[in-house]
Chains A and B, each alone.
Chain A
């Protein structure tokens, strides 16, 4: 049910125009970059994303110790893995 709804949804023309323009920019940027540098961004982006996730965990759990925050981060990553594997 959810899948058929997802497949038939089409964004409004103005939104689609914006999506297409943003994608075009991404493609042109990617073509202009050094491929090796672009390749190494994957791990760097992951580290940057972790910083934001950790900040979110601390914000949601103000009294939690560093150890507790790390445990919650482990839980989040485990959940992400489960979601990825279930698709």
Chain B
């Protein structure tokens, strides 16, 4: 199994069980920005506590759970980490939190057709908002790339509104000033 098969495989498993999801992290910033390497696929799922516990069964034997339940620090949601058997590639699954922006972004998710399955992604605006909240160097680079590639297409009022609530408005403006006219 390779990263493509793992990502599509998880999407298929979630779709089969009618579990709503978003493919977030590096995959979503690659979708809207400039492609870069990523060692994992991050899924956010809207499930009950019992369904979340049962994820290893849903994903099947190709995904070995290496971290059971831990807390993601930004929004305090639960996460599980899986190693894709026979590879160094990982899959992280986060339970959708009650955080207002997490909830809103789930409502705006967009669908990408893969032929044999569907993959759901956050909007470009929500990728920017999420990445600013994480604030690591690679996240800031991703924000600049998404804003540059998507220049003229993003809804600034939506981004600004959430950034003001999250305290990331200053960082947004710092990066915005570096977006070239391409």
* Interface residues of A, Cβ cutoff 8 Å to B: 20, 23-24, 26-28, 30-31, 33, 35-36, 38-50, 73, 77, 84, 87
Q: Which of B2, B30, B89, B119 has the most CB of A within 10 A?
A: B30
Chain A residues, Cβ within 8 Å of B26: 42
> Is the Cβ of A47 less than 8 Å from the Cβ of B182?
no
Q: Which 5 A-B pairs have the closest CB atoms?
A: A43-B3, A42-B38, A45-B37, A41-B35, A39-B31
Contact string against A for B residues 35-71, beta-carbon threshold 8 Å, 1 for contact and 0 otherwise: 1111101000000000000000000000000000000
| Neighbour of B35 across the interface among A23, A38, A47, A77, CB < 8 A | A38
A-B contact pairs, 9 of them (CB 8 A): A26-B34, A30-B34, A30-B35, A35-B112, A38-B35, A39-B28, A39-B30, A40-B27, A77-B88
Q: Which of B's residues lie within 8 Å of A, judged by CB?
A: 2-4, 6-7, 23, 26-28, 30-39, 41, 87-89, 112, 114, 119, 121, 136-138, 145, 148-149, 180, 182
The residue in A43, A44, A49, A77 that gathers the most chain B C-beta atoms within 10 A of its C-beta is A43
